[in-house]
Structure 1
Amino acid sequence: MKRLLLFVVALAVAFAVPAPTTTQAEVSLPVEGYLMAVPGAQRYVTQNAAKIAIVGVDGVNLTKSGAKLTKVPKAAAAIVKEAHARGLKAELLVSNYDSSIGDFSSKIAGRLLKSKKHRAAVVKSLVAKVKKGHFDGVQIDLESLKASHAAGLTSFVKSLRKALPARKKISMAVMSSETAGGYARSGYQLTKLTKRIDRFVLMAYDQHGPTWSNAGPVGGT
């Protein structure tokens, strides 16, 4: 879910069944705008504030070892400040994006998720960055996962929820699948994760793009 400077707006989808008295028309999903933290990027918050509820700030990445995080870009501070001034929430994205391969790294994710020591270190670092940067929460954007990562991902989320103040929300970007089994194979124990994730963002887009396929619709049915 690596993004260009321009806003990419996505609906935040919650895998939760509404209460019986709530009709589908009454269910409101927040719109989130994703923004890379580069100098001057806060102007996109100003321009889009009336249409969004949350700003996803991209963000911090796992290092090669899976035990540490990169620094929060300095430009993130201005984005968070502008979001709050406009009455919006701002959340810090954490991912396993590897610039050396230009994609999300399953290996880096594994080094985090399969090590209790690494998970503890990253949780501690992430909580400190959220507090220092005045973020309203975290979005976990770990992609290209495998079924073998599932237990570690659940443990990571459990530890993060315990370490973060209750008012700080945790959301998770999820790679879409056509079947329940597909989510399991992609490393998501949704039933267990739902207990601690406040909001899931279903990534049902980018089926076609300039570097990986011929021209086509953004996302098929």
Structure 2
Amino acid sequence: MSQAKAAFIKIPTGPDGFQTYPTDPARRLADSDISIEPCVPSDAEKIAEGLYLAFPESWWDQKEPPALRPPQPIRIQRMATRLLPSLTHPHMKWIKAVLTHTHETIGIAGWMAPSNHPSVHNIFRRSAAEHYGWRERMGWSEAAVEEMWRHTDDEEWSVRFARDDETRRDVMGGERHWGGEEVVGVGYGAGGSDGAGDAVVFGECAVGEGCVFALWVCARGGV
């Protein structure tokens, strides 16, 4: 049964936010074209790549000032290195959407599970390596940690996320919850022979704690 086109609802986003538009259902990939799978450590670079695609350049200008940036492959490599231990962290749930006929990853999302309670510490903060014991587990030296953060703005990456963590801690009042600040949804272009435009893919994945989350990812072609 075909789906009706979703109505556009304007949502206030604030000065740093942005909003995407509904996609025509006729341009969506079929459910049978997509599989939802857990991520593995080798997906770290793909996650990093997707994060740079998921947010506008104006957002990244704050997090990683242009004057400090190395070439893009190095930015991706450093981000992937920082994220790598989160892919084996027992309370962090990463999932990916994969094209069934090519095994190409076209979207990734992640959440910090309620089992992480009482810890409230965003994985994107520099201090996460110490907080979760990742630096010791990965064998990172202080010089290695400095290198992977060299081109970033500490105020935007660490101080701002720390304030968000404090707000979440106050709002939740000690209640177990899925970590909203760690929610990540990134989409990639997936090549298609018909040259079709962007499509929105919808999938569901049970990620533990008796919860089911929706995953929306962007794909190109094959609709």
Shorter-chain TM-score range: under 0.3
Could you tell me the TM-score, scaled by structure 1's length?
0.24
